[in-house]
Amino acid sequence: MASRHLAKTRTAVGFGLVGLSGLLVNQGLFWLLTEAAGFWISWAAIFATQGSTIWNFVLTDRIVYSEKNRNGQWYSRFAKSWTANNAFLLLRVPFLLLLAHSGMNPHWANVTTLVALFLVRFWISDRFIWGSKRLVADITGEPVEPPSKADVLIEMKSNEWGPHLVLNLRPRRWVKRHYYDVHGLVSIMSEVSLPELQYFKVESFSRKPDITVRRGYVGDRRMIARVRATMSPGLFVYREHLGSIGANFRVDLDNRVNVTVSPLLATSKHVVYTNVVEALLRFVLVNTGYMLLHSATVRLGTETIMLSAQTDTGKTGTILRLMQEHPGESAFLSDDMTIVNGNGAALCFPKPLTISSHTLRAVNTKTLSLPERLILAVQSRIHSKDGREFALLLARLNIPIIAINAVTQILVPPPKFMIHRLVPTVTYQDAGVVSQIFIIGRGSSLEEPMPHSEAVETLLANTEDAYGFPPFSIMERAITLRPKNLRKGKKRDITELRTAERAILEEFLGNMPVTRLISPNFGWADTIPDRVLSGDRAGSQLAVESGAAESNGGSLVAVKEDQHVD
């Protein structure tokens, strides 16, 4: 054991000396690029990193690690080293700019960021690039020294693929758990906070949760060349390039759902919910006879109405205007998703509203603090339709897209606010019976009724559009669920669940009027109240006049009789 620690110390010292020389190389290139070539400090840091990466790799590969401890071909190790160093730029460049703008000399700021990340670089290099032969015996079967009692804990189901698909290293003795109860239909216990479900948060519950989310290491420690999705009915494992520290996750499905998310993914709670939990929640609800429909639902006057559209069309801005401009005649159920059943009932699903760039015009920024207002413009631009389309484009490439998304949302959190933060006068409503639906869109002004069959297809398409993020298109094939509250019985696969979802929607629509409403200028919040509230106001006025007539009936009749006699 002592000899192993001595060897590790020698390796760390050697790595540190090489890193020191690389720091000088990086700093020299940084100076040439900023002072001689006039580069911006961010670009100088990026290009200087390429030179120091090559320098560090050659010395580390040839001097620090002996040939017998090297793993794989030199170009494979270089690719891993280059990927890791350039990935650090996602942290280094913002940190560098922050230090420079705060008044620190750019050259000292560059040195500071390099030193700050040294230990992390050493840990990754030693564990994943050069020292990756030292894996746990339970994972590889290779003879290695027994780990200490806290080093390794395997937590997984037995399956023919082996334990390498889920590995929990150094489990924490205490972890905070978050409990959510969605209208008594689905219960969720999560070791990751899920802000989108904060409306349904409860202290705890004694029953077993329908969905459990826990933290853990998923996949092998080694980096891999391509994204890999391993699946079978009831099991899905998603792994990206960065090994078990990256944005990996595993889903086990039976009558209950268990999700294990890797450390990086667990740090980005919005990605955990959007990319994993909501996709599962959708079909768990179908299994209970309900549908998670992509729509916004509000009460206007005495009517509960629903708005549906493709993502980033303008639902959020319309809902904000309706709530702001009709405070005494409205109530809020949902902005993005609504839970519906075949009886026409709509259950609220009040997630935080995401403020994209085109929604800003409807936001009363006076309700936000000064820091929130200052950063909102940047957040809304990054987390806008353009940003989403760019992310979907990147998803087609062989890159760790979920890890990139997770890091982006850690550095620039999405602008999400519960509606009462933006509209203090708003009231929430738990449920309602929908009386009419508006399918909104952009284009030349148009208002027309939509046939039942077309409405079904449109609402299904709009719902599907909300699940365009990876890896849903792959993960859904593995989704199988047993009938609700049954431990035994035939599982329903994704085809059966989708058929059941369509049946719920068709029954929900029934004879419900559906109107296509096209506007060239986001004018739905002007048109919809005229269609909904005018009838309520006319009915209220008629009731007032009728009541007045009854209370004064005798005198009115007398006047009419006198007039008739005259």
- What confidence tens digit (pLDDT) does each residue in 190-234 have? 999 999 999 999 998 888 899 999 988 887 777 788 888 888 777
pTM over 0.75: no
The reply to whether 30 and 89 lie within a common domain is yes
Encoding tokens for residue 554? 């005798």
CA angle 406, 407, 410 (to 5 degrees): 90
Using DSSP bridges, classify how beta strands 303-308 and 416-417 pair: parallel, antiparallel or unpaired: unpaired
The reply to whether 158 and 279 lie within a common domain is yes
Final residue of a structural domain among 286, 321, 339: 286
What total of structural domains would you count in the chain?
2
The reply to whether 235 and 271 lie within a common domain is yes
The four Cα atoms 396, 402, 404, 406 give a dihedral, to 10 degrees, of 150
Final residue of a structural domain among 85, 100, 134: 134
Residues 429, 297 contacting (CB under 8 angstroms):
no
Is 510 part of a structural domain of the chain?
no
Find the domain containing 266 and state its range: 152-286
Is 74 part of a structural domain of the chain?
yes
The reply to whether 159 and 244 lie within a common domain is yes
Is 394 part of a structural domain of the chain?
no
CA distance 526 to 327: 15
The reply to whether 108 and 179 lie within a common domain is no
The reply to whether 119 and 160 lie within a common domain is no
Is 255 part of a structural domain of the chain?
yes
Q: What parts of the chain have a pLDDT lower than 50?
A: 1-5, 68, 132-164, 167, 169-171, 486, 537-566
* CB atoms closer than 10 angstroms to residue 79: 16
The reply to whether 128 and 6 lie within a common domain is yes
Peptide bond into 513 cis (omega under 30): no
CA distance 209 to 118: 42
The reply to whether 127 and 193 lie within a common domain is no
CA angle 234, 236, 241 (to 5 degrees): 175
Is 311 part of a structural domain of the chain?
no
Query: Phi/psi class of residue 72: alpha, beta or left (left: φ > 0; alpha: ψ in -120 to 50)?
Result: left
The reply to whether 50 and 176 lie within a common domain is no
The reply to whether 158 and 273 lie within a common domain is yes
Final residue of a structural domain among 134, 163, 190: 134
Residue 423 is given by DSSP the state -
Is 196 part of a structural domain of the chain?
yes
The reply to whether 277 and 194 lie within a common domain is yes
The per-residue pLDDT for 197 is 95
Is 349 part of a structural domain of the chain?
no
The reply to whether 255 and 192 lie within a common domain is yes
Is 518 part of a structural domain of the chain?
no
Of 298, 292, 265, the closest CA to residue 437 belongs to: 298
Sign for the pseudo-dihedral over CA of 422, 196, 412, 308: negative
